[in-house]
Amino acid sequence: METVERARGALYAFHQLTGTTVLELGRAVELLRDAGHGDWADRVETEVLGRNVIPGHWTYRIVEAYNQTHYEPCKGLEQGAVAGLAEDQDHLYEARLRAARRTPGHREHTSGPG
pLDDT exceeds 90 at position 109: no
- Which DSSP symbol is given to 113? -
Cα-based distances in Å from 95 to 26, 98, 102, 108: 50, 5, 11, 16
Neighbouring CB atoms inside 10 A of 41's CB total 19
Neighbouring CB atoms inside 10 A of 29's CB total 21
Neighbouring CB atoms inside 10 A of 59's CB total 19
Identity of the residue numbered 1: M
The model's pTM: 0.77
Beta-bridge mates of residue 57: 54
**In the predicted model, what is the mean pLDDT of residues 44-70?**
95
* Residues 21-36 pLDDT 10s: 999 999 999 999 999 9
Q: How much of the chain exceeds pLDDT 90, in percent?
A: 73
| Cα gap 39→58, rounded to integer Å | 26
